[in-house]
Amino acid sequence: MKYIHQFLIILTISFIGELLGLIIPLPIPASVYGLGIMLICLFSGIIKLHQIEEVADWLILIMPVLFVPSAVSLINVSEALMKDIFVISIITLISTIVVMIATGKVAQSIIERKEQNKNG
């Protein structure tokens, strides 16, 4: 019963995100609205982490399986992808490097800030 309750909380937040995606005329995916709402709820304490943690961990664990249908559907557009494979590869390489650098810099600044708080 606990898992159903946790899943319903996550599902409700996702549903609210979907509604916002229909109501707000911005080109933002509804899932981003849902993630934003979840973030606000967690930071504000409306939802406690322990209320959704186990189901969220499980969803993260099975995440690769959830991408299989969309990856398989790429077969339908393989001709179009092959025409632009060089451009797609370059964009993927550059964006991967940028994300790695940005993540490293953020992690480094967080670690330095924690060390300053410990010493200061």
Residue 24 CA to residue 67 CA, distance in Å, equals 27
Q: How confident is the model at residue 98 (pLDDT cuts 50, 70, 90)?
A: very high
Same-domain pairing of 60 and 3? yes
User: What backbone phi and psi angles, to 5 degrees, belong to 93?
Assistant: -60, -50
Same domain, residue pair 34 and 81:
no
pLDDT at residue 120 greater than cutoff 70:
no
Is the model more confident about 120 or about 54?
Answer: 54
pLDDT at 117: 86
Q: Would you place residue 73 in the very low, low, confident or very high pLDDT band (cuts 50, 70, 90)?
A: confident
Answer yes or no: do 9 and 61 share one domain.
Answer: yes
Reported as type and span, the H/E element at residue 50 is none
Tokens at 41, concatenated: 């709820």
Residue 84 DSSP code = T
Count the domains in the chain. 2
Q: Say how many Å lie between the first and final Cα of the chain, rounded.
A: 46
The range of the structural domain enclosing residue 60 comes to 1-66
